[in-house]
Amino acid sequence: MKDAKVLKNSYYDSVTLMSTTVQIKKDLGLNDLVMFMGTDMNKDMIKSVGLYHESLDEAKPNDLMLAIDMQETIENWVDEVIQRLNSKKKTDTVKGEQKLTSIHQAKDVLDANIAVISVPGIYAAHEAFKALDDNMHVMMFSDNVSVEDEIKLKDYAIQKDLLVMGPDCGTAIINGKGLCFANQVKRGSIGLVAASGTGLQEVTVIIDRFGGGITQAIGVGGRDLSEAVGGKMMLKGLDALDEDEDTKVIVLISKPPHQTVLDKIKERLMHVTKPVVLCLLDAHLDEKIDQVTFVSTLTDAAIESLKLIGIKTPDLLAFDDQLKDQIKKNKQRFMPSQTKIKGLFCGGTLTAETLSILRPLVKKVTSNVAKKTDEKMKDPRISDGHNLVDLGDDIFTQGKPHPMIEPTIRIDRILQEAKNPETAVILLDFELGLGSHEDPVGITLSGIEDAKKIAAKENRALAFVGYVCGTEQDAQGLRKSENLLKNAGVIVAKTNAQAAVIAASLVSEVK
């Protein structure tokens, strides 16, 4: 039975809705549940999953839309859903916290200097302009903001000597405080600017793990380095860190920018007074620039930045004897048909880094994050050959939470790959920290175990390789998470890059 309901003037932020959908669905024994604010785009998303009802036509952007598919009729199902939603909101609210209704009011009460914007995209720019008018930096978690509005916001911010991080900026660490998806890392002397969320997380956690620390980690949004936007905030962030007394080393992280933007960055780097590590994933830089170290992987970005502050790291791609033994034993258990790697990622940039690393190590690897036509998966939902799938792609998240928030949505794909006779290795990433699921590893273990049973019925054995992006200070705990994986027979890597090399070694194609 399907039903739908509009709750007038009932605003819930997208993170709350995404993070509670799966649990509410499970608690109530539902076939499906979607919860969105009443924007036209969200109505289209409900239509795409087959739960739309004409009663939702009346919904306005500040109204909550609920659409449900029940096995059996549940009386007062709306009350049940709202009760659980409000329970989550109450749990997340600090005792004694004052309810504020506008950015201006929050500025006056909290003496804030930064505003985090998480409202539907059609309203995000308006709220961001309000914050800039109040002389606050802006982090825009919201997406679906027009390029024109992004350019206007960033031009206005530059006039006022302020930052606009985003839109669609998922990670930042400002003055030691993690914003949105971020890890708990030590303060230190390395500052970062990144157009990548999980890329920023990966570099900061490696720096933390080996005794380094962060001054600021500034996200700029994935579109900042496009030709249209022109790298406005990447350049602004670079200048800010160059002027910051506490920052001794600067790290810039991005997928390859548009050539016109790269030229601007290179020109600016010639005048920076501090050493810089420039990490452009899957790119090459022929010319040398004084005080600039160019790298093409996230691991190397962390290693080089640590080296510049006097911290030497071990070879993070090296295999110790225990790891070599694990690889050998797993390879011996494969059937002849098992020759392929299946990477199932929550982090888009970690997917891209893995593609870059595997390209010279295995024959024909494809991905839904690939830029090259011959490396693009025809359909990310269908497995064929060596595949690296970013499960945070829009094709997987329409009507569903992001897998970093709700990892159980990855389990179905793990089981799908387990049924494929060509699957040898299933490669998984796990992101800890603020914004992520409270136990992303623990909630995935049942899927790993079930996948092994599926393969065993056909006399096959699967090798699982996992990487945990996090720190011991994160609420989920790095050591605890890694031990859970090890106890489940998963090969645990030190970095995302090492996980890629381990996977390649398991299919015997390392050159």
Mean pLDDT of all residues in 335-353: 96
Q: 360 and 248 in one domain? A: no
Is residue 45 assigned to a domain? Answer: yes
Q: 128 and 238 in one domain? A: yes
Strands (E), 175-219: 177-180, 187-194, 214-219
Q: 35 and 154 in one domain? A: no
> What was the pLDDT predicted at 27?
87
Q: 194 and 246 in one domain? A: yes
Q: Evaluate if residue 88 carries a pLDDT over 70.
A: no
Tens-digit pLDDT profile for residues 244-260: 999 999 999 998 899 99
Which CATH number is 340's domain given?
Answer: 3.40.50.261
> What was the pLDDT predicted at 89?
60
Q: Evaluate if residue 510 carries a pLDDT over 60.
A: no
Give the whole-angstrom CA distance, residue 380 versus residue 391.
9
Q: Evaluate if residue 128 carries a pLDDT over 70.
A: yes
| Complete DSSP assignment for 42-59 | HHHHHHHTT---GGGGG-
Q: 107 and 14 in one domain? A: no
Is residue 236 assigned to a domain? Answer: yes
Q: 123 and 67 in one domain? A: no
C-alpha distances out from residue 312 to 9, 18, 334, 461, Å = 55, 41, 38, 38
Q: 491 and 413 in one domain? A: yes
DSSP β-bridge partners for residue 37: 64
Q: 111 and 73 in one domain? A: no
Is residue 35 assigned to a domain? Answer: yes
Tens-digit pLDDT profile for residues 46-72: 888 889 999 999 999 889 999 999 988
Three-state SS at 433: coil
Report percent pLDDT > 90 for the chain.
76
> What was the pLDDT predicted at 511?
37
Confidence of residue 376 (pLDDT cuts 50, 70, 90): very high
Is residue 97 assigned to a domain? Answer: no
Q: Evaluate if residue 101 carries a pLDDT over 80.
A: no
Q: 222 and 269 in one domain? A: yes
Please check whether residue 44 is in contact with residue 92, taking contact to mean a CB–CB distance below 8 angstroms. no
> What was the pLDDT predicted at 19?
75
| Domain ranges, residue 111 | 103-308
Confidence of residue 282 (pLDDT cuts 50, 70, 90): confident
- Domain end, chosen from 51, 73, 92, is at 92
Label residue 104 exposed, middle or buried (CB < 10 Å: 0-12, 13-18, 19+).
Answer: middle
Confidence of residue 97 (pLDDT cuts 50, 70, 90): low
Q: 454 and 350 in one domain? A: yes
Is residue 116 assigned to a domain? Answer: yes
Mean pLDDT of all residues in 340-353: 96
CA atoms within 13 A on the CB side of 71: 6
Tens-digit pLDDT profile for residues 316-329: 999 999 999 999 99
Is residue 360 assigned to a domain? Answer: yes
Mean pLDDT of all residues in 481-493: 98
Is residue 376 assigned to a domain? Answer: yes
- Domain end, chosen from 43, 70, 92, is at 92
**Those residues with Cβ within 8 angstroms of residue 360's Cβ, 6 or more apart along the chain or in another chain:** 511
> What is the number of domains present in the chain?
3
Give the whole-angstrom CA distance, residue 234 versus residue 254.
9
> What was the pLDDT predicted at 421?
97
Is residue 283 assigned to a domain? Answer: yes
Q: 390 and 333 in one domain? A: yes
The pTM of the whole model exceeds 0.75: yes
Q: 437 and 385 in one domain? A: yes
- Domain end, chosen from 49, 66, 92, is at 92
